């Protein structure tokens, strides 16, 4: 096994700037972070000319099956789109996204892609896949085949995902905007049903991610003890973020549930608006959750109309401005904290000895200017150099 040492670096390890200027890689792993003079012995030395090294980015909510150029939801899965999904994955990793959680598709195509990436056959991020989301009859994203009229049917859908080798279970706890006839304000399952599904998933060692727009669905998901709440939009009668309820937020905190708010590049339109009442409500809800101690994880919902899979680096600047997060807090939400939320912090999310060599090199300093994330110099994914300008 030949060793590689990246030298001449400024290193932010996912937690803090460290007193080191080199990273030694052997195979898929980082074996040391330290002084370049000592680490480069018996290795191939690559001078990085003062670049800033940070952990590879993590997008906690994507849909590789969806084509962002389409204007509406598909009627069914296109099972011939493997080439398009392969290209999306390759583009993501070239932009510094070395891990992504895929939260819904209809034919397990993303699982096949995951396995090919893991085998080293294709370039792409580490994929964590949920397969078909469990939804109510004609409920949100029913076109992916996960409809269930009752708990028994929902357990059948869950078992089908287990049989296909998923990494987690996705449940549509509320309706959504993408599906005609679905109401984002309404819960799609009872507390008893969702609690039983969480217990069933845990019996297989799988966490549960819950799609939640309306406050009613957020409360059901929190009571059921899911691992992550996706969107957490607090939708009420007056629209998005109009029904924030402190007792439910406190329940989310008490249960240790992570919030994945799916703030993407497209939200820039609200920042550009001179008067956005929706943005004001969203900001107030986010501030209250963050002040309470609820932890956020970076996510984009990539694949929905207009949101491309490689855009997390530019979306993080938007996320920072909307949520009122510092640059370091934002970076942690897409690296070390994201890895903790997804249960993979022993593998990735930090530049530490023993972790996978998922490394993003940048010319600028993202700790002071998040726009530096959009201009990578080099990307390493599990010890492989998948992109380099030099």
Q: What CATH number is associated with residue 253?
A: 3.20.20.140
For residues 36 and 87, membership in a common domain is answered with: no
Q: What is the largest CA-CA distance in the chain?
A: 65
For residues 198 and 271, membership in a common domain is answered with: yes
For 205: left if phi > 0, alpha if psi spans -120 to 50, otherwise beta; the answer is left
For residues 173 and 317, membership in a common domain is answered with: yes
Tell me the C-alpha distance between 96 and 309, whole Å.
Answer: 12
pLDDT value of position 316: 98
pLDDT digits (tens, 9 = 90+) for 254-293: 999 999 999 999 999 999 997 789 999 999 999 999 999 9
Q: Kindly report the CATH number assigned to the domain that includes residue 354.
A: 2.30.40.10
Q: What is the pTM of this model?
A: 0.97
For residues 107 and 225, membership in a common domain is answered with: yes
For residues 142 and 277, membership in a common domain is answered with: yes
For residues 264 and 359, membership in a common domain is answered with: no
For residues 61 and 158, membership in a common domain is answered with: yes
CB 382 within 8 A of CB 125: no
Of 323, 341, 359, which residue constitutes the final position of a domain? 341
pLDDT value of position 72: 84
For residues 198 and 305, membership in a common domain is answered with: yes
Segment 133-138 shows an average pLDDT of 98
pLDDT value of position 1: 64
For residues 309 and 261, membership in a common domain is answered with: yes
pLDDT value of position 178: 86
pLDDT digits (tens, 9 = 90+) for 75-87: 888 888 999 999 9
For residues 36 and 172, membership in a common domain is answered with: no
For residues 262 and 307, membership in a common domain is answered with: yes
Alpha helices in the chain (DSSP H): 36-39, 82-94, 109-118, 151-163, 191-203, 215-224, 246-254, 268-272, 277-292, 312-323, 327-333, 336-341
For residues 272 and 129, membership in a common domain is answered with: yes
Collapsed DSSP state (helix, strand, coil) of residue 179: coil
Q: How many domains does the chain have?
A: 2
Which has more pLDDT, 178 or 310?
Answer: 310
Q: Which domain holds residue 272?
A: 57-341
pLDDT digits (tens, 9 = 90+) for 23-55: 999 999 999 999 999 999 999 999 999 999 999
């Amino acid at each position: 096994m030949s060793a590689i040492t990246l030298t001449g670096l400024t290193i932010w390890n996912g937690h803090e700037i460290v007193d080191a200027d080199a990273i030694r890689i052997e195979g898929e792993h980082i074996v040391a972070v330290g002084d370049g003079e000592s680490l480069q012995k018996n290795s191939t030395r690559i001078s990085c000319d003062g670049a800033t090294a940070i952990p590879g980015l993590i997008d906690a909510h994507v849909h590789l099956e969806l084509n962002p150029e389409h204007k509406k939801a598909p009627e069914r899965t296109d099972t011939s789109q493997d080439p398009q999904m392969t290209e999306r994955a390759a583009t993501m990793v070239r932009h510094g996204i070395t891990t992504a959680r895929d939260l819904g598709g209809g034919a397990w195509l993303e699982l096949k892609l995951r396995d090919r990436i893991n085998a080293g056959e294709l370039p792409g991020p580490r994929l964590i896949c949920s397969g078909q989301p469990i939804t109510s009859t004609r409920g949100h994203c029913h076109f992916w085949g996960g409809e269930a009229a009752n708990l028994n049917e929902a357990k059948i859908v869950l078992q089908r995902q287990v049989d296909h080798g998923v990494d987690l279970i996705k449940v549509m706890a509320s309706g959504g905007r993408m599906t005609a006839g679905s109401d984002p304000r309404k819960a799609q399952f009872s507390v008893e049903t969702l609690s039983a599904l969480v217990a069933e998933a845990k019996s297989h060692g799988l966490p549960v991610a819950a799609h939640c727009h309306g406050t009613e669905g957020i409360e059901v998901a929190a009571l059921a003890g899911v691992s992550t709440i996706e969107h957490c939009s607090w939708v009420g009668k007056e629209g998005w973020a109009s029904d924030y309820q402190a007792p439910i937020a406190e329940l989310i905190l008490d249960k240790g549930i992570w919030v994945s708010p799916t703030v993407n590049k497209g939200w820039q339109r609200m920042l550009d608006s001179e008067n956005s009442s929706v943005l004001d409500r969203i900001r107030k809800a986010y501030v209250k959750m963050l002040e309470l101690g609820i932890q956020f994880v970076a996510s984009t919902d990539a694949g929905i109309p207009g949101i491309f899979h490689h855009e997390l680096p530019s979306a993080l600047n938007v996320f920072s401005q909307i949520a009122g997060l510092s640059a370091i807090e934002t970076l942690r939400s897409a690296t070390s904290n994201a890895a903790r939320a997804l249960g993979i912090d022993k593998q990735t999310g930090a530049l530490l000895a023993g972790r996978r060599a998922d490394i993003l090199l940048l010319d600028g300093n993202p700790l002071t200017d998040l726009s530096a994330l959009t201009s990578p110099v080099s990307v390493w994914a599990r010890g492989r150099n998948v992109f380099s300008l030099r």
